[in-house]
Amino acid sequence: MAKLIIARHHESEWNKKGLWTGSRDCHLTEYGFKKSSEMGLMIQGIHIDQAFASMQVRSIETLSCMLEALDLCHVPTQHAAEINERDYGDYTGKNKWEMEELIGHEQWEKVRREWDCPVPHGETLKMVYARVVPFYETHILPFLKDGKNVLMVSHGNAIRALMKYLEAIPDEKVKDIEMLFGGILLYEIDTEGKVAGKEVRHIESEVHA
């Protein structure tokens, strides 16, 4: 039974400032680097055959820290824009808490959590799903069907989209899916590509984002 290990990048410079980051590139904070190494140790003892990260530096840095902590820097790695974070369009760079006051809590929650809530010049979660899932099926699933363990480091909304697919979560329940900072998902995938089990691990993290 192959393992699909999914981790969210840790605290970035914009996370620390409470800014909507989305498609914007920014580095991890010192705290983010430290916690990323701790995330690696959370999966110690699991053999990794292949790793994936998005094209965004916070994801790449998190993956590098995790592999370094495990002394697995030799693991083959692919970077892909398809698993980048959601593009928040006109909201990119805006302070989340100021935007909550501006647009109201109800609309703010819809923007952050719902399946098909539009953002001016940005992506909905449904649009993120449309790029994440085909990438998973084409590039990641073949490793899993072959019995290989895969580590994927991505972003909150890209991971939520993949969770929806893997767990067959209906559209109206998507708002309840959350991938916390410091969270690691371990799915067991059978030879037909079906989810046979799930485990959640988590390190203590204090990220106000």
**89-100 tens-digit pLDDT:** 999 999 999 999
Task: Give the closest residue to 165 by CA, choosing from 124, 191, 134, 201.
Answer: 134
Find all residues with CB under 8 Å of 74, minimum gap 6, and list them: none
What are the backbone angles phi and psi of residue 58, rounded to the nearest 5°?
-65, -35
Structure tokens at 197: 């089990």
CA–CA separation, 39 and 168 (whole Å): 27
- Three-point CA angle 47, 48, 49, nearest 5°: 120
Which sign, positive or negative, has the C-alpha torsion 128, 133, 138, 141? Answer: positive
Please report the domains of the chain, with CATH numbers, ordered by start residue. Answer: 2-202 (3.40.50.1240)
pLDDT digits (tens, 9 = 90+) for 50-65: 999 999 999 999 999 9
- Residue 207: band (very low, low, confident or very high) from pLDDT cuts 50, 70, 90: confident
> What are the catalytic residues?
9, 85
Q: Measured in Å, how far apart are the chain's first and last C-alpha atoms?
A: 35
150-154 and 77-80 beta bridge pairing: unpaired
Its pTM stands at 0.96
pLDDT digits (tens, 9 = 90+) for 111-145: 999 999 999 999 999 999 999 999 999 999 999 99
Res 209 pLDDT > 80 = no
